[in-house]
Amino acid sequence: MTPDPPSPDVHHDADTRRFHTRVDGHEAELLYSLRDGRMTINHTGVPDVIGGRGVAAALVKAALELARAQGWRVIPACSYSAAYVQRHPEYAGLVEG
């Protein structure tokens, strides 16, 4: 059995409301908006060449952990973030609605 690849190093840019990481020279990102204590995850983008390595999951997890730490509610508006929350019930309490 081969071990899982290491999680990418995810960075948060609060000014642009963006999480991003670089894997093998390719950049992936998660974009969100923030209003009235609600984080809306609008987009998770991972280039196909680095897909299937858990990059999107790492981005969404970082966003959800920030929301938890800040006491924000989360609206997973992009399809990947919505699916991630469904697969990870430990974050269900953050989801608005």
Q: pLDDT tens for residues 19-55?
A: 999 999 999 999 999 999 999 999 999 999 999 999 9
Confidence bin at 6 (pLDDT 50/70/90)? low
- The encoded tokens of residue 82 equal 């919505």
- pTM for this one? 0.92
β-pairing, 73-76 vs 11-13, is: unpaired
Identify which of 42, 37, 52, 55 has the alpha carbon closest to the alpha carbon of residue 82. Answer: 42
Question: What does the domain layout of the chain look like in residue ranges?
Answer: 32-94
Confidence bin at 72 (pLDDT 50/70/90)? very high
Question: How far apart (Å, rounded) are the C-alpha atoms in residues 95 and 72?
Answer: 9
Q: pLDDT tens for residues 76-91?
A: 999 999 999 999 999 9
CATH code: domain 32-94 is 3.40.630.30
Which residues lie below 8 Å from residue 39, measured CB to CB, with a gap of 6+?
32, 33, 63, 66, 67, 72, 73, 74, 75
